[in-house]
Amino acid sequence: MKPKPLGPIPAGYVAKDGQLSIAGMTARELVEQGGATPLFVYSREHLTKRVADLRAAMPERLTINYAIKANPFAELLEHMATLVDGFDIASSGELTIAQMAGLDPATISFAGPGKRDDELEAALRAGVTLNLESENEARRALAIGERIGAIPRMAIRVNPDFELRGSGMKMGGGAKPFGVDQERVPALAKEIIAAGAEWRGLHIFTGSQALSADAIIEAQANVLDLADQLATEIGEPLPKLNMGGGLGIPYFHGDEPIDITAIGAALEERFADLPANLADTDLCIELGRYLVGEAGVYLTEIVDRKVSHGVTYLITDGGLHHQLAASGNFGTVVRRNYPSAIATRFDSEPAEEVNIVGCLCTPLDRLADKAHLPKAEVGDLVVVFCAGAYGATASPSDFLGQGAAREILV
Ligand SMILES: *Cc1c(COP(=O)(O)O)cnc(C)c1O
């Protein structure tokens, strides 16, 4: 049996006393601080550096929003609030989380298909911008605004005719439940402006998890061209353009980090020569996993070690109920290994081939297949990297009555 490669461990993770260490604490010290395994650990320093590096690469004019669905953990959100310019929410539940974290509603936009009337009302009362997903949603929101005496702040999410090439999750191009088809956007914009809404411009999100700078550069150029064309048809310069995001992180063997310097240089060039419709526009990108994904790890303890038909299994107290994506069950066709390691033997040489599984009674619950790792015993800690985004809240934590993992920010 040939070992199956693990994904690349993100930069910034080092060993101390033979163990993985974050913020100067060893894996065991982190578990002590968190109280128990399974445990998500998020690094303040990693988050800070990530945003600083991104800002250094991007034009100064570009503002950066954080899409909080990637990780809404309260302490992480409060730290992100010191780093980014605004937030994207996708439900009234996330609005409540944002309000509890004290985020400024003027910097929040609310996208997402299927906003209920009570969610629209909560958003209007809070004063966040609605990124409208349909004509019907616009009319419901206008009527609610009239009833409660609030002037709705409205942008339109556009379903563009193009898509982000090489995107892990396509969100534009052809028929989609997201946004308003581009040719219908001008009429809707005119309608909501005439109805007295505060016009907040356009939101054009083309895809997610791209690792090719060229694909992002092409999508951003298309977004700027489309925004200019739509503004001309609407007959007003755009107050704001949310250019979407799409920057991905390496999860699997062979993935390379995306070249943000190239993206920043291309944007700089475009920004130096913007059409009149975009000259005074607030230009922003919105990112989730790129900002927080690599800043988090998932620690889980080995509770059993067994051999079946010659195959060694390390059975942990964690699993797909916290790591749906790492288990390969969140939109993947072929299951590949996330970056992972034995956290308590972080600088030891690989010595055996093992399958790391979770504690759920289903064959779907795998954290690493045929992984070549140092020999580990019951009580050792397994680490799964790239756990900062779409981990804790994107996994079915109540499955088999397991419950949520703990989370700490260090
Ligand atoms: C999910 C989402 C994001 C964040 O996507 P990432 O891949 O985590 O960067 C940004 N904007 C919108 C509208 C989204 O739905």
Whether residue 59 has pLDDT greater than 80: yes
What is the CB < 6 Å shell around ligand 1? Answer: 67, 69-70, 88, 111, 205, 208-209, 245, 286-290, 389
Mean pLDDT of the chain: 96
Residues for the chain: how many in total?
A: 410
Query: Which tokens is 36 given?
Result: 């128990």
Distance between Cα 258 and ligand 1 center (Å): 16
- Give CA separation, 20 vs 6, 223, 238, 366, in Å: 17, 42, 48, 22
Distance between Cα 366 and ligand 1 center (Å): 26
What is the predicted pLDDT for the residue at 1?
60
What is the predicted pLDDT for the residue at 167?
72
CA gap 363, 360 in Å, rounded: 8
Distance between Cα 89 and ligand 1 center (Å): 10
What is the predicted pLDDT for the residue at 34?
98
What are the pLDDT digits (tens) for 334-392? 889 999 999 999 999 999 999 999 999 999 999 999 999 999 999 999 999 999 999 99
End-to-end CA distance of the chain: 39
Q: What is the mean pLDDT of residues 170-182?
A: 83
What are the pLDDT digits (tens) for 305-337? 999 999 999 999 999 999 999 999 887 778 899
User: Taking the CA of residue 47 as centre, how many other CA atoms within 13 Å lie in the half-sphere pointing to its CB?
Assistant: 27
- The domain covering 72-287 belongs, at the CATH homologous superfamily level, to Alanine racemase (3.20.20.10)
What is the predicted pLDDT for the residue at 166?
75
Query: Which tokens is 297 given?
Result: 């790890």
Neighbouring CB atoms inside 10 A of 164's CB total: 30
Distance between Cα 194 and ligand 1 center (Å): 30
Provide CB contacts within 8 A for 381, sequence distance 6+: 27, 28, 31, 37, 299, 300, 301, 302, 342, 343, 344
| Ligand 1, pocket-test mutation among 76, 88, 249, 289, most atoms within 8 A of CB | 88
pLDDT level of residue 172 (50, 70, 90 thresholds): low
- Specify whether the CB–CB gap between 262 and 41 falls below 8 A: no
> Which segments of the chain belong to CATH 2.40.37.10?
14-42+294-409
Which atom in ligand 1 lies closest to the alpha carbon of residue 111? Answer: 13
Distance between Cα 288 and ligand 1 center (Å): 6
Which atom in ligand 1 lies closest to the alpha carbon of residue 171? Answer: 15
User: Taking the CA of residue 63 as centre, how many other CA atoms within 13 Å lie in the half-sphere pointing to its CB?
Assistant: 16
Which atom in ligand 1 lies closest to the alpha carbon of residue 248? Answer: 7
- Give CA separation, 109 vs 173, 194, 211, 262, 271, in Å: 22, 21, 26, 28, 23
- Specify whether the CB–CB gap between 288 and 389 falls below 8 A: yes
Q: Which residue's CA is the closest to the ligand 1 atom numbered 4?
A: 288
Percent of the chain at pLDDT exceeding 70: 98
Q: Which residue's CA is the closest to the ligand 1 atom numbered 2?
A: 67
CA gap 383, 385 in Å, rounded: 6
- Specify whether the CB–CB gap between 21 and 15 falls below 8 A: yes
Q: Which residue's CA is the closest to the ligand 1 atom numbered 7?
A: 208
Q: Which residue's CA is the closest to the ligand 1 atom numbered 14?
A: 67
What are the pLDDT digits (tens) for 68-92? 999 999 999 999 999 999 999 999 9
What are the pLDDT digits (tens) for 203-239? 999 999 999 999 999 999 999 999 999 999 999 999 9
Q: Which residue's CA is the closest to the ligand 1 atom numbered 8?
A: 288
| Ligand 1, pocket-test mutation among 91, 164, 180, 287, most atoms within 8 A of CB | 287
What is the predicted pLDDT for the residue at 22?
98
**What pTM was estimated for this model as a whole?**
0.96
Whether residue 165 has pLDDT greater than 90: no
CA gap 392, 389 in Å, rounded: 8
* DSSP track, 390-408: SSGGGS-TTGGG--PPEEE
Among the listed residues 62, 86, 84, 56, the one whose alpha carbon sits nearest the alpha carbon of residue 270: 62
The catalytic site residues sit at 361
What are the pLDDT digits (tens) for 93-146? 999 999 999 999 999 999 999 999 999 999 999 999 999 999 999 999 999 999
What is the predicted pLDDT for the residue at 171?
56
> Which segments of the chain belong to CATH 3.20.20.10?
72-287
Distance between Cα 125 and ligand 1 center (Å): 24
The domain made up of 14-42+294-409 has a fold known as Lyase, Ornithine Decarboxylase; Chain A, domain 1 (2.40.37)
Which atom in ligand 1 lies closest to the alpha carbon of residue 289? Answer: 8
